[in-house]
Amino acid sequence: MSTYNFSAGPAVMPKPVIEQIQAELPSFQGSEMSIMEISHRSQLFDQVINDAEADLRDLMAIPDNYHVLFFQGGGTLQFTAAPLNLATKHHHIGLLDSGHWASRAADEARRVNTQVDILGTAAATHFTALPTLTAPVDQNLDYVHITTNNTIEGTAYTTLPVTGNVPLVADMSSNFLGQVYNVSDFGMIFAGAQKNLGPAGLTIVIVRDDLIGQAQNLPSMLDYQLFADKRSMFNTPPVFAIYAAGLVLKWLKQQGGLKVVEQHNRTKANLLYDFLDQSKLFTCQVKPTDRSLMNVPFVTGTPALDAQVIAGATQHGLLNLKGHRLVGGMRASLYNAMPLAGVQALVDYLAAFEANHAK
């Protein structure tokens, strides 16, 4: 029986990457040392981090006036780092409240004495749609924070809010490299690696160079300018996670780049959404135009039945379909490394469950 991992993160990695890691683990590039044992100051690692940055720049067409930084601390640390580095003029940002992770970002920004204005909220729809701006954006804000993909609620931005000259800061943790965005539409993008990029422990920050370097006396580990100056090696970086992410980036290039990957992700997501929309048992409550390609929440409407669906799925090798504890039901995460066959297996299982249930 094939197994498929639908976890929202840490999530499925490409099989060829896992196999390459396994093969290279005892001796990295003939060094007789594992990648976990080599120095981050060695030439071998230099090549790894340089290739990872070059491949990421290539895949996302990152302009030269943007830094690519490798951090630790997850997406969550960037909820603090972004306001400390970028909200230096007015200590005042705007935020679109699209769900759990957006409100976590607001909380953390407030903790470092940043005023956070909620410029729109989707609370009235229980976050089954994206929020929209309720007024033109105040041009004195330091930036506007959005969550491009809402991992728990299953919404994603395709069209970005219009913010004029105020930079957009995007938490792209759960659809980084899953669909095409134009980097120059953002002042900054950040993403924890553990969904589409690689192991947890690595966070990517892509930031426009004119937006940084103005903060005074930041803790070193939160200082974007310092990380840019030190090429992300102010201290020991997460060597293994960067190496693994580098392999995933090469795999993405082999797939044909992000346009091809996005198309594949659309095919996968549509297969599941089309099934859910015609089903009499299962429903996806997310507004069709706001639906995520990555995270698909759905319910039967009866928690006890949801539990049966999840238990049966596990027996069929369809793993980690339990919805987030805040929303319940089921959630299928269809990150880049999920094959179409996995989504087909899920749809077949759900169809069979529904047919049996109707009897």
Q: Under the rule (CB under 6 A), what is the footprint of ligand PLP? A: 9, 74-76, 101, 147, 151, 171, 173-174, 192
Residue 107: how many CB atoms within 10 A of its CB? 11
* Nearer to ligand PLP among residue 101 and residue 273 (C-beta): 101
Cβ atoms of residues 271 and 312 within 8 Å: no
* Closest distance to ligand PLP from the beta carbon of 135 (Å): 25
| Angle at alpha carbon of residue 106, lines to 163 and 108, rounded to 5° | 130
* Nearer to ligand PLP among residue 77 and residue 281 (C-beta): 77
* Closest distance to ligand PLP from the beta carbon of 75 (Å): 3
Please name the residue that has the structure tokens 């995933």: 248
Main-chain dihedrals φ then ψ at residue 322, nearest 5 degrees: -65, 135
* Closest distance to ligand PLP from the beta carbon of 335 (Å): 11
**Catalytic annotation, residues:** 101, 171, 195
Which tokens sit at 358? 């109707």
Q: What does the alpha-carbon distance between residue 52 and residue 57 come to, in Å, rounded to a whole number?
A: 9
Q: Which residues are annotated binding-site positions for pyridoxal 5'-phosphate? A: 75-76, 101, 151, 171, 194, 235-236
* Closest distance to ligand PLP from the beta carbon of 76 (Å): 3
Q: Which residues are annotated binding-site positions for L-glutamate? A: 41
Main-chain dihedrals φ then ψ at residue 270, nearest 5 degrees: -65, -35
223 DSSP 8-state letter? -
Q: Which residues are annotated binding-site positions? A: 41, 75-76, 101, 151, 171, 194, 235-236
Shortest Cβ contact with ligand PLP: which residue? 74
H or E stretch covering 206:
strand 203-208
Which tokens sit at 21? 């890691």
Q: What is the DSSP string of 2-62?
A: --EE--SSS----HHHHHHHHHHSSSGGGSSS-TTTS-TTSHHHHHHHHHHHHHHHHHHT-
Residue 148: how many CB atoms within 10 A of its CB? 26
* Closest distance to ligand PLP from the beta carbon of 317 (Å): 24
Q: What does the alpha-carbon distance between residue 55 and residue 318 come to, in Å, rounded to a whole number?
A: 32
* Nearer to ligand PLP among residue 54 and residue 326 (C-beta): 326
* Nearer to ligand PLP among residue 294 and residue 313 (C-beta): 294
* Nearer to ligand PLP among residue 178 and residue 329 (C-beta): 178
Q: Nearest to residue 274, comparing CAs of 179, 357, 347? A: 347
- For residue 96, give the 3-state DSSP assignment: strand
Cβ atoms of residues 262 and 293 within 8 Å: yes
What amino acid is encoded at 115 in this protein?
A: Q
* Nearer to ligand PLP among residue 192 and residue 297 (C-beta): 192
- Strand pairing report for 4-5 and 318-319: parallel
* Closest distance to ligand PLP from the beta carbon of 46 (Å): 26
* Nearer to ligand PLP among residue 128 and residue 173 (C-beta): 173
Cβ atoms of residues 117 and 163 within 8 Å: no
